[in-house]
Amino acid sequence: MDAQQWVMTVMAFLVGAAVAWVGAHWWFGRKLKDAASNKERLDAARHLASQQAAQARKQIEMLQQEMAEMRLAAQRRSQRAEAQAHASGPAPLPIFGATGPGELPSDGFPQTQILPRKR
């Protein structure tokens, strides 16, 4: 091989290396841009999710406070009703026809009716 062939071979190698470098730069540049845009999109989604989680925590806290207030109000109402029930006197007897404590129907049992058996 003479010197001219060596120079042509080296030049071809350098041109091929330059073309390969430009192609790789273009290819991997595209991949890096896609990765950067995906990262930005994921960061925005993560930020939105954290904001929504904080808002949900605040709503849960408010609902728990409302539930505690409602429970306290219900407890106060039941205590008031219980106090009024004790203050109004003894509860009426559940037996029909009896008007006061110790009064029962004449036979001692509430009125019942026996139904005939169906055959």
DSSP class per residue in 85-113: HHHT-SPPPSSTT--STT---TTSS----
Q: How many Cα atoms occupy the beta-carbon half-sphere of 89 within 13 Å?
A: 4
> Which tens digit of pLDDT belongs to each residue from 22-53?
999 999 999 999 999 999 999 999 999 999 99
In-domain check, residue 82: yes
60-102 tens-digit pLDDT? 999 999 999 999 999 999 999 888 877 776 665 555 554 555 5
Half-sphere exposure of 24 (CA within 13 A, CB side): 6
Q: Is residue 26 part of a domain?
A: no
| 52 lies in some domain | no
Q: What is the 3-state secondary structure (H, E, C) of 3-28?
A: HHHHHHHHHHHHHHHHHHHHHHHHHH
> pTM of the predicted model, to two decimals?
0.48
Residue 37 domain-assigned (yes or no): no
For residue 61, tell me if it sits in a domain: yes
Whether 9 maps to a domain, the answer reads: no
- Output the pLDDT for position 10: 95
Structural domain tally of the chain?
Answer: 1
Which residues constitute the domain of residue 64?
A: 57-86
CB of 97 closer than 8 Å to CB of 109: no
Residue 119 lies in a domain: no
Distances from the Cα of 65 to the Cα of 45, 69, 71, 114, angstroms: 30, 6, 10, 56
